[in-house]
Every structure is written in C-alpha cells, then in structure tokens.
Amino acid sequence: MVACDRRPGARGGAGSLRALVSGLRDTESDGVSVGVALGSGVFGAAGDRPRQLVPMPSFPGDLLDPAQSHGDVLIQLAGERVDDVRAAVERFESAVTGWRVRWRIEGFRAGNRMEGGRGLARNPFHFTEGFGNPADEREVLDRALVRDGQGEPAWAVGGSYQVVRIIRLATELWDKDSVHEQERIIGRRRDGRWLDGASVGEQPNFPADPRGRLTPLDSHVRLATPDRRRPAPLVRRGYGYDRGDGDTGLVFSCFQRDLAAGFETVQKRLAGEAMATYTLTTGGGYYFVPPPGDAWPAAVATG
Ligand code: HEM
C-alpha cells in the first residue's frame, strides 16, 4: 500500500485525479493489480465527498503516527511475486509527479488460499483469518458496496468505504502464552474451529455459554459478533507486515457500505477485549474505493 498526498500547488495538471489514474494505468502489469481509494483530503470545498468520509478518528488505545496515517489517496498494488509488486511501486512513484508518498507499507498473506468460497491467510499470531467473511459472493457485495438510496452522492453508488489499520502486534509476548490461552483470547482455534466444538462451517452456540466458560466473553470473536444471526456488515482482508526490529503486525483492512454500521460498530465493541494487551494501532486511515469505470474522476471534481 502507498498513501500519497497531492503536492502543494499541483491541484490541476500533474496533481489531478485524471493524471493519477493515467499513472496507475502505466503501473499495471501482468501479475500486478492496482487499486485506488480516496481519502477525505482529496475533496476540495466543492468536491462531492462521500457522506461518512472523514479522517480516521483516534480510537481508545490508538497511538496514531501522522506519518503513517491518512493521505489524499491510497494505492494498493497486489501480486503473487514480491519483485513484480516492488517494480510496480517504483513505476507508480515515478509516473505520478504531482503526488508525493506520505507513507507506504508492504504486506503479505501467509498461506493465502481460497477455501469454501472464502479467502484465508495466516496472521502473525498464527491464526487463520477470513472465516468470519461470507462465503457467498452476493453477500460479500451486499456488505461492501454503497447502494442507491443511502444518501450518498450518485457517483459513489457501487463504491466502498475502506478502513486500514496498521496494528503492531506484540508477537514475542504472544508466543509466551500457550496455544490454549491464545485460543481463549481469540475465541476460535488456530485452524478456525470453535471452542464449543462446532466445526469451522457451523455456528457456535454462544447463548448456551452465557458466562463464557467455553468461549470467554472478552474473546475477539465473541465481542466482534455477539449475536451470530446479525454479523456486522463488513468484509475483512488483512495482511501481515514485518518491518524488522520487532515491528511486526497486521495491516488490517475492511470494506463496507456504511462506516458506522460496519467497522465503527465492531471497533467500539472490541474495547476491553483480552487481545488489547498485545496490540497497538499506529496508523491507517479511512478511504473510499470509487466504483469501477472511468466516470468518477470527473464526478469527484477536485481539479
Ligand atoms: C489486532 C489485530 C487483529 C487480529 C490478530 C485479528 C484476528 C482475528 C481472527 C483470528 C479472527 C477469527 C477468524 C476469522 O473469522 O477471520 C477474527 C475475526 C474477526 N475479526 Fe479480527 N483481528 C484483529 C483486528 C480486528 C479489528 C480491528 C476488527 C474490526 C474492528 C476485527 C473484526 C473481526 C471480525 C468482524 C471477525 C469475525 C467475527 C465472526 O463473525 O466470527 N478484527 N479476527
């Protein structure tokens, strides 16, 4: 991921969204996909900003470093081969002269695979993530994409709010705990099975465990989705990162049609979770992924 700001004074020309999009086209190559998301700062006073798009607030416990947070645009370059992705990042950075890099981070998905319709990967805490996402593609789109009638600008329908959180994980401390303790902090087994014996594809029976004897009440999944019939409308796709010197963690990323009902609801519920001792959010931001097609740079009209 590369977050960029428009260079001062470069509002038109090289600093326009059109120039950025054409730079992205030059960047794309075999095996490297390129995506763009807009931060609130890219919208001028006259810009038609998505209703909920503001700079990401600091949540309790966060220590947001401005040099790793926010940004006018967020570019995501993804591919199977790290050298290809790095070369694409270089091409991108030299193609877009009206924009300067604000922060960048390299993420990876260990053990990346599709299983039962879901993308899964292992995080730096050795747990497989992705089970909580819907397996059905229609349900994924329903959670992620802005709909007509939501009160959003017309150009934004079919787009998606993206939240990125750079979360440093205390992996040394975590690795001192037993696997059993770790699984009680997450609320699932490392391989995704539930602590009450339900299999990966089934639902756990939380009402039968009101005191959290099997699945602790302050475990991650129990707080994230207390009522299994009503999961928050968000779709997660995280990446591990390792910047050396023990700076290891998760580039948490999720998509939703409504920020308040999606990420913000879950983030508030997670306050006081057992995992908080091991995590520190140091950066990230709120962005908006425009709908597919070439119409949006004109509609966004920021110059
Ligand atoms: C601190 C770093 C985090 C770690 C290590 C982590 C890890 C996990 C793991 C292992 C699972 C279970 C497997 C799965 O369903 O994918 C999970 C589920 C989930 N996480 Fe996280 N997570 C983190 C941060 C967050 C954040 C910041 C949010 C949103 C605010 C979040 C929301 C969720 C949700 C909604 C689920 C699915 C719960 C369910 O329906 O079962 N996680 N996470």
**Atom of ligand 1 minimally distant from the CA of 267:** 30
> What SS3 state is found at 18?
helix
Could you tell me the two tokens for 160? 């998606």
State in Å: Cα 52 to ligand 1 middle.
23
**Atom of ligand 1 minimally distant from the CA of 278:** 1
Task: Compute φ and ψ for 104, nearest 5 degrees.
Answer: -145, 155
Cβ of 224 below 6 Å from ligand 1: yes
CA atoms in the 13 A half-sphere facing the CB of 136: 4
State in Å: Cα 265 to ligand 1 middle.
13
> What SS3 state is found at 249?
strand
State in Å: Cα 74 to ligand 1 middle.
22
State the 10-residue block means of pLDDT for the chain, 303 residues long.
90 83 87 95 84 97 98 96 95 92 98 96 97 96 97 96 98 98 98 96 96 98 97 98 97 98 98 97 98 85 54
What are the angstrom distances between the C-alpha of 267 and each of 11, 110, 221, 296? 35, 24, 12, 30
Report how far residue 6's alpha carbon sits from residue 101's, in angstroms, rounded to the nearest whole number.
9
Report how far residue 190's alpha carbon sits from residue 183's, in angstroms, rounded to the nearest whole number.
7
Rounded to 5°, the CA angle 17-22-25 comes to: 130
pLDDT of residue 303: 46
What are the angstrom distances between the C-alpha of 226 and each of 52, 70, 133, 259? 25, 30, 15, 19
Strands 235-236 and 248-256: antiparallel
Domain positions in the chain: 2-300
Could you tell me the two tokens for 299? 């509609």
* Contact yes or no for 221/187 (Cβ under 8 A): yes
**Atom of ligand 1 minimally distant from the CA of 187:** 12
Cβ of 118 below 6 Å from ligand 1: no
State in Å: Cα 221 to ligand 1 middle.
6
Report how far residue 21's alpha carbon sits from residue 56's, in angstroms, rounded to the nearest whole number.
24
Cβ of 279 below 6 Å from ligand 1: yes
Instruction: Identify the DSSP state of 69.
Output: B
> What SS3 state is found at 93?
helix
What are the angstrom distances between the C-alpha of 239 and each of 111, 254, 264? 11, 11, 20
* Contact yes or no for 42/17 (Cβ under 8 A): yes
pLDDT of residue 302: 55
* Contact yes or no for 163/69 (Cβ under 8 A): no
State in Å: Cα 95 to ligand 1 middle.
36
Report how far residue 75's alpha carbon sits from residue 290's, in angstroms, rounded to the nearest whole number.
12
What are the angstrom distances between the C-alpha of 196 and each of 79, 200, 221, 237? 37, 11, 13, 26
